[in-house]
Amino acid sequence: MTSLHEVNYNKITQTKQGGEKMTNLKLKALLTGNGDDMKTLSKVISKSYVTTGNKVRGSVDWTDKEIKLISEYYKLNPQQVWDIFFSSEVYTNETKAS
């Protein structure tokens, strides 16, 4: 089994579609499932609430260090890290009802 430290995050990038607002639902589910919220996540990665929100929405990429901090805090295995941060299915378009 590949350890968390063997995952090379630099070779993988998040895909965004034309600058649309995207939300990482799997990360939100992880937070909710652990009784946490964006404020907790902000503390885990030592970033402001606004910056953390931008990262969750996909406006700003996660750094290797932030992914590692989140992975260690939530004790994620490599597959969970992949699913949450790199799978093409983690982001969904946020659209407003007209």
pLDDT at position 31: 94
C-alpha angle 59-40-37 in degrees, rounded to nearest 5: 75
Q: Indicate the pTM of the whole model.
A: 0.69
Element (H, E) at 69: helix 64-73
pLDDT at position 58: 85
Instruction: Write the pLDDT tens digit of every residue in 2-52.
Output: 344 444 433 333 444 444 445 688 899 999 999 999 999 999 999 999 999
For 23, phi and psi rounded to 5 degrees? Answer: -125, 135
Spell out the domain ranges in the chain: 25-91
List C-alpha distances in Å: 81 to 48, 76, 85, 96. 22, 6, 6, 29
Instruction: Write the pLDDT tens digit of every residue in 60-78.
Output: 999 999 999 999 999 999 9
91: which strand partners?
Answer: 24
Confidence of residue 89 (pLDDT cuts 50, 70, 90): low
Stretch 84-89: mean pLDDT: 76
Fold of 25-91: 434 Repressor (Amino-terminal Domain) (1.10.260)
